[in-house]
Amino acid sequence: MSIETLQNYIDGQFVASSSSETIDLISPVDESVVGRSPVSNRADVDAAVSAAERAFQTWGRSTPGDRQAALLKLADAIEANADEIVEAQCRNTGQPKAIVRAEEAIAGANQLRFFAGAARMVHGLSAGEYLEGFTSYVRREPIGVVGQVAPWNFPFLMAIWKIGPALATGNTVVLKPSDTTPESTLVLARLSKGILPDGVLNVILGTGETGAALVEHPVPGLVSITGSVRAGIAVAESAAKQLKRSHLELGGKAPVVVFPDVDIAKAAAGIAEGGCFNAGQDCTAATRVIVHESIHDEFVTALAAAAQNLRPGLPDDPDAFYGPMNNINHFNTVIKKLQGLPPHATVVTGGKQWGDKGFFIEPTIISGVHQDDAIVQEETFAPVITVQPFSTDEEAIELANGVRFALASSVWTKDHATAEKFTRALDFGCVWINCHIMLTAEMPHGGFKQSGYGKDLSIYGVEDYTRIKHVMSAHD
């Protein structure tokens, strides 16, 4: 069977890249070649940015109501074509189809509807006479063209998180999906035809070099990336050279603090799911359990049992909880970390490849780790959960906060005062109480420290894609 090379989506049309360089798209399920993508060059980036720049002249002046109507139509189209989105994405990712449908296609449509409504809710200070003889007010305006780089862990949903707030506020977009997972984003582009004016949404395919060319381009006024700390630093450094704004959602290493008053079986089940969802390829995944010493051993046993119930599997397997690692490089990195554990660490369950083909990892629980171990300090991005004991609240807080990441966390207890204490003490952008990994479009998602800056979702994420202008008018 011949494999055609995918095309960029620029100015409302699918067009071949001007580059002759291509990369194969590899199925993480069986390692077969399922597609071919161009490695777009600077000429392609220039064409996409120019299209977005032209489209901004009208889209940037459109009314919030018009933008809302367009985004609502696009959400309807996503919902109506969910099966096509699922098939396209699962070719690239190997995720369970039922989960992609519910958690990305349908959830993405719902979140796009939130952004559509938010288009009409952007606000600022009220007009007033703050200086005698003058009236002042604030305008929130679109930035212009924005460049966006999306990750491979939730390809379709992250595309929605990128384009939703940008388009709602009147910006135009050049979006680069991950080089390993471009196909569902191209479906999104095709669905936008006839709903969004040509040039409002452009999609370019390629590798990190393509993304760098987009970030370095002088036209975009803001660049946004969801990705690794290394990639985020590169984007921030490049943006800083032109004093352009950057929006970074980077890595995580979420602590899960468990107190002895919990229902152990219930908490273990919830935490195992929070750590293994999407094969642990989630920046908010529950990766570091910090459990009170009085229930440590019992909780480790319960957590291992809960993890063993979360079976990986193929895309069409209705009982599969998660799929494979996204690509061979990531799979090899995870295996190397598991094989390089220090002698004091104990693999309670898992710790190796699942099956004899594909990039699957068994659900893994590791106890006996130390705070300075690499498996505790570094993002694993896999279905791997470590467990550490604590004796005092102060020790739990020190262990929880003692990493360079600060995206998400959770505390598990029946005591209200303890929960409230830890919501203040945990240095993370999100603190869940007796749950983990839950998201809603109305609440912000984003972290501190090396987890980046800027917010996704919520009105705060929408405002990140605006600029503020003060207007003052003399009375005489």
Q: Return the closest-CA partner of residue 251 out of 277, 222, 280.
A: 280
HEC string for 272-295 = HHHHHHHHHCCCCCEEEEEEEHHH
Helix (H, G, I), strand (E, B) or coil at 359: coil
At 331, phi and psi to the nearest 5?
A: -55, -50
Helix (H, G, I), strand (E, B) or coil at 346: strand
Identify the active-site residue in 104, 283, 379, 430: 283
Is the separation of the CB atoms in 409 and 400 below 8 Å? yes
At 371, phi and psi to the nearest 5?
A: -60, -30
User: Terminal CA-to-CA distance of the chain, rounded, Å?
Assistant: 76
Q: How many CB atoms lie within 10 A of CB 21?
A: 13
User: Residue written as tokens 């039922």?
Assistant: 98
Burial 190-213 (b: 16+ CB within 10 A, else e): bbbeebbbbbbbbbbbbbeebbbb
Residue 293 is a catalytic residue: no
> What are the beta bridge partners of residue 249?
226, 452
> What are the beta bridge partners of residue 453?
248
Q: Return the closest-CA partner of residue 76 out of 109, 43, 37, 122.
A: 109
Is the separation of the CB atoms in 361 and 334 below 8 Å? yes
Integer Cα distance of 284 and 81 in angstroms: 28
From residue 230, alpha-carbon distances to 277, 334, 415 in Å are 24, 17, 39
Identify the active-site residue in 216, 249, 273, 362: 249
Residue 276 is a catalytic residue: no
Instruction: Give catalytic residues, as residue numbers.
Output: 249, 283
